[in-house]
Amino acid sequence: MTSMQLLTPTHRPDTWTPGATTAVRYRLLSEVEADALCRVLNLFALQCLTPHWVNACQLGDTLQIDIEVANLSRHRADVIARKMRNLISVFQVDLHELAPASPAVDTPAFTARPATATAF
């Protein structure tokens, strides 16, 4: 037995490992602030995750943000939702499971959103 084997901790299940992954949709309601969307998206960037779909819409004095992400474990999705709820400007977060994703395939488990043209 080498010294490296002696220092290795015993194996225990990692709740962050995507054993059974899923696609989720976050729907947030936030105050209209210049940095609200950046703060929410930063929670994904800190974990090297890229959402597959993001939509933000101002409804009066409320900002509605919808985000879809595939290949997340349910635990990771819940932790991100809790972190969103802790943001000062966010006052509601709903988390919806869309469909189970195959662990071997990196494609989203939801249908792609059509591109829309916006006139400025």
Confidence (pTM): 0.70
Determine contact, residues 68/110, Cβ cutoff 8 Å.
yes
Cβ atoms < 10 Å from Cβ of 110: 17
Going through the chain in order, the beta strands assigned E by DSSP cover 21-31, 53-59, 62-73, 90-100
Residue 109 Rama label (left phi>0; alpha psi -120 to 50; beta): alpha
**How much is the pLDDT for 41?**
97
% of the chain at pLDDT higher than 90: 56
Kindly indicate whether the domain formed by 27-100 is annotated with CATH number 3.30.110.30. Answer: no
What are the extents of the domains in the chain? Answer: 27-100
Asked if residue 8 has pLDDT above 70, the reply is no
